[in-house]
Amino acid sequence: MKSSLRTRSARVLPAGVLAVALLTAGAPGAFAASPSEAKSTNVIAASITVQPSQTELRLGESVTFTGRAQGLRIGDVLNLQRYSGGKWVIVKTVKLQRADSFTISATKLAAKGTERFRVVHGNTMSPTVTVIVK
């Protein structure tokens, strides 16, 4: 009797594995939403780029930052930040006037050396730009 049980198990086990594999393979299609139920997600990821008007300037001169903001809306707040004392400090805050570009003007630099700036909106930030003050 033992031999017939082993033989039966040897035949049933591969059939069971095959059945599970076929059912699992068809499952994603069975649970997928129909095209009428699927919602369009045309969300553009937010991104910010920034460029200083000058990368080298004299002590006391002003620098203007211009850039592009994609995925943001008119009225969104942008913060110009400067790296100082080991942390990012807000220098100026502006509201986005156009949907795709911005200007942050007249930032006077009062210390010689290398200054690092970036523009931030929530968790979205521009790459850091460097300005050298002589």
Q: List pLDDT tens digits, range 24-61.
A: 555 554 445 445 454 555 667 889 999 999 999 999 89
| pLDDT confidence of residue 88 | 97
Mean pLDDT of 13-21: 56
* DSSP bridge partners of 47: 70
Asked if residues 98 and 66 have their Cβ atoms less than 8 Å apart, the reply is: no
Helices (H), 1-134: 2-31
Of 134 and 6, more confident? 134
pLDDT tens-digit readout, 103-123: 998 778 888 999 999 999 999
pLDDT > 50? residue 64:
yes
Asked if residues 61 and 108 have their Cβ atoms less than 8 Å apart, the reply is: yes
| pLDDT confidence of residue 90 | 95
Of 132 and 8, more confident? 132
| pLDDT confidence of residue 30 | 46
Q: Please provide the average confidence, as pLDDT, over all residues in the chain.
A: 80
* pTM higher than 0.75: no
* C-alpha to C-alpha distance for 81 and 110, rounded to whole angstroms: 15
* C-alpha to C-alpha distance for 87 and 78, rounded to whole angstroms: 18
Greatest mean pLDDT among 9-23, 75-89, 103-117: 75-89
Nearest to 114 by CA among 102, 130, 100: 130
